[in-house]
Structure 1
Amino acid sequence: MSNTLSVGVIGLGAMGMGMAQSLRRAGHVVNVFDVRTDVAQKFAAEGGVACASLADIAKASDVLVSVVVNAAQTESVLMGDGGAQSGCINH
């Protein structure tokens, strides 16, 4: 059995990008979502996986990490319309 996790990182600003890169270097499958699709695609070109929606990243990931600006954005990306919760298996 593999100990490798599929990790989803929501938000690829300076902190989120750094986390995603570190996780990828550690050997994890890293799924990403950012409202700036060009940033997500750049990460995908470096070996990550760009997801088209928050629901898609939730479906593809064992663990989600939200790295957004504030509580309102966190609530929106997780619980809002089309948020990550909509893609979770057990929600």
Structure 2
Amino acid sequence: MNAPSLPAIETPCIRVCVVDPETGFCIGCGRTRMEIGSWLSFDVKQRQDIMAGLPERVATLTLRKRRRGGRRGRLEAALRP
């Protein structure tokens, strides 16, 4: 007998787990360490609320990191179509 499969949990993680010391946001997904660590315990609404604010966080990080170059800039260049 097959065990029931668990529903997939949506995540913004792109496996670039580096927390920016100035903002406290991961430069890959935009979440804080607390949000990353608690992600599986959040309910769907909490995760959706956090995800709604991530594009603005990541855009801010992207602009700041682009000026400084580094790994984030190389990653973005590699991901651009």
TM-score (normalised: structure 2) = 0.33
Q: Tell which has more relative contact order, 1 or 2 (C-alpha 8 A, sep 6+).
A: 1
Q: Hey, which of these two has a bigger chunk of strand by percent?
A: 1
Q: Hey, which of these two has a bigger chunk of helix by percent?
A: 2
Structure showing greater radius of gyration is 2
